[in-house]
Structure 1
Amino acid sequence: MRTRKFLFVSLDAALIGDVAWQVHSEGHEVRYYIEAESDREIADGFVPKTDDWRADVDWADVIVFDDIWVGSDIGTGELAQKLRERGKAVVGGTPNTDRLEADRGYAMEVLEAHGVNTIEHRVFRDFDDGIQFVQQRPAPYVIKPLGEVQNVKRLLYVGSERDGSDVVDVLGAYKKAWGHRMKGFQLQRKVEGVEIAICGFFNGEEFIDEVNFNFEHKRLFPGNIGPSTGEMGTAMFWANQNRLFRETLGRLEDWLAEEGYVGSIDLNCIVNESGIYPLEFTPRFGYPTIAIQEEGFETPTGEFFYELARGNDPELAVHHGFQIGVRIVLPPFPFDDGKTYDENSRNAAVVFGTDSRDGVHIEDAKNVDGQWRAAGESGMPLVVTGKGETMQQARRQCYDRIDDIVIPNRYYRDDIGERWTEADGDRLLAWGYLGP
């Protein structure tokens, strides 16, 4: 494939640096724009930067938006739509697909309109109304904030009490502490089963054949305990458009084609012997999901996104086995504490025990004269991946690679992928979801 020009755009947090680095490493021309001043050093030394992405639109063969957010508002979908109307090839959403993530009630309406089963749910704008609802209908519920505040991952709460009393208590606490920012929330009935996300890549007209199935690990500590984070690691595999896909994302294909959506779209679900129950959309790249998916691409990343953005069939070749990725983090992640970050993590050096960088992906990192360092403010410098024919082989490769990396004060989960081998794989197979 000949050299193409890629413009990567981060209008909130800097998230897409690793993909930009990979595409640049493949020999393409890359320019990366980061809006947030606190994040602008991220990916320095890895990819060329630009100070004015709009001035580079005409230069670019492909424009890639990394998220739905423009600061504290959704908006990249509108920008992407307008650029496509100008004839530009864009990986990005639309105003309506942005809403799938920002407005959970709307997302459920779209699913229901296309014949997808949903869990009992209700959106509230008032805390007292939500508390009264739970008291009148006692059961375990999940609290999911709406709008910009949903990015504060620790606010998502999964109830455990059968009478919903813990949910009532948490809503009361949120009213006092977050009432000024949390403009609404969804209460979703808690369902037991295997949590699995179905992720497809859409080219504006249809899904490509390869579908990614992934298992997120959001809690900070092994054993799935501790505060909720954006993500601590993910296990995954690729398969065809099976029952899990056909009964969820597959039913939205015509709707997405009408929207003209281009990119990755992920639907997280709970699955049990009774059915498939969607939880939430990610109508954009997932992080660190995309870095782990990249590791499984056997087609060059730049070639894949170039063809996808132009509405072609990229004929994506992938690793058919298992993959895992582990996020390496630094204090005070997942919390915000500038003093702790300055004392323990700012500019922390990344030291490699070998010359190999296989399976090492950057997040909040920079390269200063050949020395990798932590960058930004979030304390998420690296994601390390592994793959294999079995989940155990993928885990072994990933954690062997982590053992060769030293960052002072680092921490990570050492159990990514264990759920698959302990129970999840057998249950999904027994329930008939993993057949051809």
Structure 2
Amino acid sequence: MKVLVIGSGGREHAIAWKIAKSPLVERVFVAPGNGGTYMEEKCENVDLKGIYDYVKFAKEKLVDVTVVGPEAPLVEGIVDEFKKQGLKIFGPSKEAARLEGSKIYAKEFMKRHGVRTAEYEVFYDIEGAVEYIKKCRYPCVIKADGLAQGKGVVICSSFAEAEDTLKKFMVEDVFKGSGKRIVIEEFLEGVEASILSITDGKTIIPFISAKDHKRIFDGDKGPNTGGMGVIAPNPYVTDEVLEDFKKNIMLPTLNGIKEEGLDYHGIIFFGIMITKKGVYLLEYNVRMGDPETQALLPLMKSDFFELILRAIDGKLEGCKVDWEKGYSCNVVAASKGYPGDIEKGFKVNIGDVENKIFIAGAEFKDGNLITTGGRVLSVTAVADNLDKARQKAYGDLKRIYFEGMQYRKDI
């Protein structure tokens, strides 16, 4: 079969690499891909932009299945357009993608279907929001309603910080419209976990858990990023936590999808907080996480592409996903200046590494990998215990160099 993977990050490199391993797959096109997908077996980068380009290519090349990596095309309605054209695609419809595309829609969905989540208020104007933060309890959490590349959530410890965040979101419009409407939530104290899962709209199968590290510096200091590294499984997700998650978050979500008739054949990612009072849902994502994908897929024993086909065809019931018994550690190497203004255009030197390197922000040019983005690459190591996996990942990072390279030492 021929597969089209849409996206250009480390997540898409991992997805393309895993799909290419399937005996069912002959060719994987990646649009636009990166320096890593360029070098993968069975993979070919294609320069496409926009939904109609993707549709045209899928028809011309007789693509059997399209897999969407990032959230933006899903929110724009790529799935609806492909289905209208009679093309198979893996992902939620435009309506279902609002679970990530709008924090307000997601919170109201949670409320309607009894999904356990933090208390919240919604604001459409800064005056009302400022009045609210004068009397709310701190810390509080301010979230931009729309997509903000993983940077639209701020934990504010004081009125001054909250007011400044509201001005940036609602007045300065740093997220180009996504922060004009906001959610202010109660702060939940605990440990975060990521639980990615696959659904066909009738069944949800959770994957093993993961623990992301969002902040740029060691000790969870500095600004939020798209993610600086992941361990999997998450040691805080015990059997008890998993049962709580299924009962109070996953199953009510599935019931909501069914009751509202949402067309959902794709990944649903639950960002949860494990607190003393139980497990709470922080947010939905409607696609694979980045870099969670790079940590999870190397542990997956099952044929990922076969799972995708089953989800598209509505045949996930009774399906089992098999995993390696060990642990994985994924560490991201980023450009100088990330997550702010970055320096790029540097050659990436990769020495004699032992583990899988996933490229994110680098292109293959004149025989070399050249940095093009904030998160340049990540290393994923798998071992029978977490300490060993960490040692292996950090051992490889010492054999990689590009100018300005930075990474956390405490993933």
TM-score category of the 2 structures, normalised to the smaller one: 0.7 to 0.9
Partner of 2:249: 248
Distance 1:273 1:391 in 2: 25
The 8 Å contact of residues 299 and 326 in structure 2, kept in 1 or not, is answered as no
Describe the shift of the 1:406–1:301 C-alpha distance in structure 2 as closer, same or farther (beyond 3 A): farther
The 8 Å contact of residues 42 and 364 in structure 1, kept in 2 or not, is answered as no
The answer on 1:261 being equivalent to 2:260 is no
Distance 2:190 2:396 in 1: 32
Structure 1 position 90, deviation (Å): 1.6
Distance 1:216 1:14 in 2: 15
Post-superposition CA distance 1:173-207 (Å, at most 9, x none): 55553377431211111111111222211134312
Unaligned runs of 5+ in 1: 417-436
Unaligned runs of 5+ in 2: none
Identity %: 22
Which residue, 310, 323, 332 being the options, matches 1:318?
A: 323
Which residue, 387, 404, 409 being the options, matches 1:409?
A: 404
Structure 1 position 87, deviation (Å): 4.7
Post-superposition CA distance 1:325-369 (Å, at most 9, x none): 1111112211135xxx2xxx3142232234x4x321121233446
Partner of 2:305: 302
The 8 Å contact of residues 270 and 277 in structure 1, kept in 2 or not, is answered as yes
Distance 1:13 1:323 in 2: 19
What does 1:27-426 align with in structure 2 at a 5 Å threshold? Answer: 28-34=26-32, 43-46=37-40, 47-50=43-46, 51=48, 52-58=53-59, 59-70=62-73, 74-75=75-76, 78-84=77-83, 87-148=86-147, 150-151=148-149, 153=151, 155-161=152-158, 164-172=159-167, 174=169, 177-178=172-173, 181=177, 182-208=179-205, 210-237=206-233, 242-257=243-258, 258-313=261-316, 315-337=320-342, 341=343, 345-354=344-353, 356=354, 358-368=355-365, 371-374=368-371, 376=372, 378-416=373-411
Describe the shift of the 1:112–1:44 C-alpha distance in structure 2 as closer, same or farther (beyond 3 A): same
For 1:332, the aligned partner's letter is G
Post-superposition CA distance 1:272-301 (Å, at most 9, x none): 121222111111111111121111111244
The 8 Å contact of residues 2 and 64 in structure 2, kept in 1 or not, is answered as yes
Post-superposition CA distance 1:208-239 (Å, at most 9, x none): 3x533222211000000011111111222188
Distance 1:234 1:184 in 2: 31
Distance 1:111 1:173 in 2: 27
The 8 Å contact of residues 91 and 287 in structure 2, kept in 1 or not, is answered as yes
The 8 Å contact of residues 96 and 259 in structure 1, kept in 2 or not, is answered as yes
Distance 1:311 1:85 in 2: 18
The 8 Å contact of residues 204 and 261 in structure 1, kept in 2 or not, is answered as yes
Give the TM-score of the pair, scaled to structure 2.
0.84
Describe the shift of the 1:347–1:304 C-alpha distance in structure 2 as closer, same or farther (beyond 3 A): farther
Give the TM-score of the pair, scaled to structure 1.
0.80
Computed over aligned residues only, the root mean square deviation of the Cα atoms, in angstroms, reads 2.8
The 8 Å contact of residues 271 and 277 in structure 1, kept in 2 or not, is answered as yes
Distance 1:92 1:173 in 2: 32
Task: Tell me the number of residue pairs that the alignment of Structure 1 and Structure 2 aligns.
Answer: 389
